[in-house]
Amino acid sequence: MGPIAGAQEELDRLGRALRSQLSMMIDDLTPGSDLSLLFLNEPRGVDGHEPPRYQYAAEFFTGKRPAHVSAADIASRAAALLTSAGWRQSTTTSQENPGRKPRIVVTGRHDNGCTIEIHITNDNDPVPPSKVWFRGRTPAMALREPEEFRWPEPIRTAETVTSGHVLCYECDGLGRCPECGGRVWVPDETRGRENCRACRRTRVCLICRGAAQFPISELSSYQRGYYPELDR
């Protein structure tokens, strides 16, 4: 199927809006930060579902807290900035590493689906207390219509099998992997897809190695067990 009308443009618009809000907050809360390190230039794939979804995301941009500004002050200012820009915000604590003081986490959510998180080290944390981490994401969006997988045609059939041969007992003449059809992946409810264990990403049936058939004269006694008609 083709692209979803307007989807790419909308995702790009959300990416620009997220960058604008993050840049404003980074400049305000950690002045002097190098915004060229805020990587939000291209959307990334989120998972393997069909159709695939994409989002713009910045993962933990690091800024330095100004001297003599407490973690609580940074959190309060961050919450105020989000609220004034029309974002819903909440402030919590996060115990990310045992033995360290909890971090303050300010989370903002916008009606357009974008989210921002600001992680602030506690004043008494042994990690240098000047660190402030910024994280932002747009909603995940599909950019094209779903594509239905078309199962490949078999390489061999009962009508086309070579004389003196039998169809592969595993793939029945398909030649391709009978589990994934040669895609090298199978659907997964959580992640969308996972590597096919049956073919180990080779695409072909591992029993016949893609030949789709076996010479009868070369069958082992074990393999002949799949073809009882040969002994009649």
What's the pLDDT tens digit per position in 145-177?
988 899 999 999 999 999 999 999 999 999 999
Mean pLDDT of 184-190: 91
Grouping H, G, I as helix, E, B as strand and the rest as coil, residue 61 is: strand
Instruction: Indicate the pLDDT class of residue 89, thresholds 50, 70 and 90.
Output: very high
From the list 168, 169, 155, 154, the residue with the least C-alpha distance to 213 is 168
Instruction: Indicate the pLDDT class of residue 18, thresholds 50, 70 and 90.
Output: very high
Residues in the chain: 232
The pair of structure tokens assigned to 213 is: 């058939």
The pair of structure tokens assigned to 143 is: 């950019």
Contact 70, 123 (CB under 8 A): yes
Q: Cα–Cα distance between 227 and 54 in angstroms, integer?
A: 49
Please say whether the dihedral angle defined by the alpha carbons of residues 160, 162, 166 and 170, taken in this order, is positive or negative: negative
Determine how many CB atoms are found less than 10 A away from the CB of residue 40. Answer: 18
Query: Helix, strand, coil % (nearest 5) of the chain?
Result: 20, 25, 50
pLDDT at position 128 over 60: no
Mean pLDDT of 206-210: 96
